[in-house]
Amino acid sequence: GPALLFVKTSQGKEEGRRFYACSACRDRKDCNFFQWEDEKVSETRLAAREEYNRNHQPFFTHRQNMDRYKNFVLLPLSKRRFCQECQQLLLPAEWEKHSDHQFLCDITTARLKSPSQLLYPLENKKTNAQYLFADRSCQFLLNLLTDLGFRRVLSVGTPRLHEMIQSKASQEEEFSVKSLLLDIDFRYSQFYTEDEFCHYNMFNHHFFGGEAARETCRKFLYEENGERVIMVTDPPFGGLVEALASSFKKLMAMWSETEKEGRDNKEMPMFWIFPYFFESRILDFFPSFSMMDYQVDYDNHALYKHGKTGRRQSPVRIFTNLTPSMIVLPEEEGYRFCTVCQRYVSSGNQHCEICNSCTSKDGRRWKHCVLCKKCVKPSWFHCNNCNCCTLQKHSCEKADLGCFVCGKAGHKRSACPSLSRT
């Protein structure tokens, strides 16, 4: 899909040179697309780029994958094979081509309904960063969504939640929740119909299936028979918050357009799952959001596990535009309700009378610094040289080093007014 426009800056210079680069891959090894904004591209180079794109298309279309799936489920169990190297369901006529590859055999219907456990997670931190919810977190999210009365879930980059909803819907007649998965991982097109999965890039709001896929999403967002919709998204943590926020606002706008009456000032309900240290960035784009204390953990992430302490705890939280008091967190997992804040907080998150808030972000009890006029981590101390709280063993760095972009003191690169103008 479309590239994103970036700016290359040099320290102390306000003006930078703008360039286009891939929206999805942050490493040139994964996608070498680069073009200066003011560059004139020759016909030869354009043709070469088109050829490259053609050669990197998926081998089968979504519709072809669905036809293959129908044939695959008709096979006896002994003839159901999955190629681990190609990450592809195989029909008997294709076995010969994959004869020197590793297979998984006897693929049951239950395994087909759990593709996230069949497929290898794509864990390249600079491209896919495909970490999957642990069952505990996934079950909590689904229970929370149903308790809140949502019957349609737009799952943006949350394949395991989508999978759990689909599986439950096929097994329980009274379960009435529907899900649409939007994900950049095209491998899921082998398991889900065009009404269940759209190939989508959340960094540039690009539907690879064109207008047909966009219409599928638009129809899903239409709340017929009072079926309320919520968007749940779990983006790669290294992704640009600005680009993500832009796409999410466009999805919200699609929701608003489905029924204009009474929606002029309303936002589509949303759960954005992201580390707590991005709180200020998210609130810059969505001031109506607040951060919940619930720790989201992942099956295939070495650090982000529930129940660990200190820096080993999962820093991942739920940001939402729903009223915080509505989000009930499980008391058996160490959460309690703060009557002053009117929200559930971690048991170690004590209410600060000066800030008039439960201020901890990481589950530990934070302490108030009178000089900083805010609560800080328990391991931090106020440094008079830096004029702020920081770790006791740190090298003092004077603020007069200045901003990387404009060279002026008093602000960091991310808050540089020159960058905002650009």
Q: In this predicted model, what pLDDT tens digit does every residue of 320-374 receive, in sequence order? A: 999 999 999 999 988 999 999 999 999 889 899 999 999 998 888 899 999 899 9
| Residue 348, pLDDT score | 86
pLDDT bracket for residue 130 (50, 70, 90): low
Which pLDDT tens digit goes with each residue over 247-267? 999 999 999 888 755 556 688
Rounded-to-integer distance, Cα 164 and Cα 153, Å: 12
Query: Is the pLDDT score of 287 beyond 90?
Result: yes
pLDDT bracket for residue 172 (50, 70, 90): confident
Cβ burial of 251 (10 Å; 0-12, 13-18, 19+) is: buried
| Residue 411, pLDDT score | 63
Torsions phi, psi for 238 (to 5 deg): -90, 0
| Residue 261, pLDDT score | 58
Q: Give me the DSSP letters along 174-234.
A: T---EEEEEES-GGGGGTS-TTTEEEEETTTTEETTHHHHHHHHHHHHS-GGG-EEEEEE-
Would you say domain 135-347 falls under CATH 3.40.109?
no
Query: Is the pLDDT score of 221 beyond 90?
Result: yes
| Residue 171, pLDDT score | 87
Of residues 142, 198, 136, the one with CA closest to residue 175: 142
Q: Report the predicted TM-score, pTM, of the whole model to 2 decimal places.
A: 0.88
Rounded-to-integer distance, Cα 207 and Cα 171, Å: 30
| Residue 24, pLDDT score | 87
Query: Is the pLDDT score of 297 beyond 90?
Result: no
Under a CB-based contact definition with an 8 Å cutoff, are residues 4 and 204 in contact?
A: yes
Least confident among 80-84, 173-177, 301-305: 301-305
Query: Is the pLDDT score of 280 beyond 70?
Result: yes
Of residues 219, 192, 218, the one with CA closest to residue 89: 192
| Residue 263, pLDDT score | 58
Query: Is the pLDDT score of 126 beyond 70?
Result: no
Instruction: State the pairing for strand pair 178-183/197-201.
Output: parallel
Rounded-to-integer distance, Cα 83 and Cα 63, Å: 20
| Residue 266, pLDDT score | 82
Tell me what the pLDDT averaged over the chain comes to.
87
Rounded-to-integer distance, Cα 387 and Cα 371, Å: 8
| Residue 421, pLDDT score | 45
| Residue 251, pLDDT score | 96
**In 10 A of CB 197, how many CB atoms?**
30
pLDDT bracket for residue 422 (50, 70, 90): very low
